[in-house]
Amino acid sequence: MRCIGRDRLNGSSGNDTLIGGGSIDRFIFNTNEEFQSEDVGIDEITDFSQTQGDIILLDLTTFTAIDSSSGTGFRIADEFAIVENNQEAATSDAVIVYNSSNGRLFYNPNGSTASFGSGGRFATLTNTPSLEAEDFFLRN
Ligand SMILES: [Ca+2]
Ligand SMILES: [Ca+2]
Ligand SMILES: [Ca+2]
């Protein structure tokens, strides 16, 4: 999927490659139902850029373990964490966890319990940007 200009990129089921292009892009993760790995797949975002204002949009209908309210980023700051290996991602207290060493983005609804429970990896930011809580937007 390649687009140019201000785009909304909505990965479909299975593994998609999402290429935003040179301006503001919204990378949308929404299945219209509760998260299931096979519905989302693992989407690759190749060119996430904070300087362009790119945003990752998470739908609360899908990411039901997020308690932060919609219409903004992570109001509950602890719901997003950055780690440096996949093991730390699985045992993090946060619901959305980013591995800054390999660009993997995880949904971790069971918190510090080992593994990701009903969640899992749903995206890889292949250019491994220094993702921050401000790069996310939550909606219903
Ligand atoms: Ca997908
Ligand atoms: Ca972009
Ligand atoms: Ca866990």
For the stretch 5-22, pLDDT in tens is 677 888 888 999 999 999
pLDDT at 40 over 70: yes
Domain contains 67: yes
- CB-neighbour burial class of residue 20 (10 A; exposed 0-12, middle 13-18, buried 19+): buried
Q: Find all residues with CB under 8 Å of 10, minimum gap 6, and list them.
A: 28, 30
Question: What is the domain range of residue 72?
Answer: 7-139
Protein residues near ligand 1, an ion, with CB under 5 A: 11, 16, 41, 43
Backbone angles phi, psi at 103, to 5 degrees: 75, 10
* C-alpha dihedral (44, 82, 121, 91), degrees to nearest 10: 170
Instruction: Give CA–CA dist 107/74, Å, rounded.
Output: 14
7 Cα to the center of ligand 2, angstroms: 8
34 closest CA partner among 62, 57, 11, 6: 62
Domain contains 45: yes
Ligand having the closest approach to the CA of 18: 1
When divided into structural domains, the chain yields a total of 1
Domain contains 34: yes
pLDDT digits (tens, 9 = 90+) for 82-122: 999 999 999 999 999 999 999 999 999 999 999 999 999 99
Backbone angles phi, psi at 125, to 5 degrees: -95, 100
User: How do strand 25-29 and strand 7-10 relate by DSSP bridges?
Assistant: parallel
Burial 47-73 (b: 16+ CB within 10 A, else e): bbbeeeebbbbbbbebbebbebeeeeb
Domain contains 99: yes
Domain contains 31: yes
- Model pLDDT, residue 43: 96
Taking residues 62-70, what's their average pLDDT? 97
Domain contains 1: no
Ligand having the closest approach to the CA of 94: 3
Domain contains 2: no
26 Cα to the center of ligand 3, angstroms: 27
Domain contains 14: yes
The partner residues of 59 in beta bridges, in order of sequence, read 139
pLDDT mean across residues, the chain: 94
Ligand having the closest approach to the CA of 36: 1
Percent of the chain with pLDDT over 90: 89
Ligand having the closest approach to the CA of 83: 3
